[in-house]
Amino acid sequence: MQTGMGMLAIAPNVFWSMTPKELTAAINAIAGESATQTISRSDLDGLLARFPDEV
């Protein structure tokens, strides 16, 4: 919790909704390690459709 909400400054509701893989990726990102998994373009398009940017 200290890492997620303290060092990463993730809001509590976001922290508690993260999967262990998401939290690990966030921690690795600030530690200078790159993500080891990628998503396909079709998966990205699906996420963009489900969660469009709101202006």
- Per-residue model confidence as pLDDT tens digits over 21-53: 888 888 888 877 665 667 889 998 998 999 988
pLDDT at position 46, please?
Answer: 93
* Domain range summary for the chain, segments of one domain joined by +: 2-50
| Residue 22 phi, psi dihedral angles, 5° rounding | -65, -45
Stated pTM of the model: 0.50
* Alpha carbon distance 21, 51 (integer Å): 20
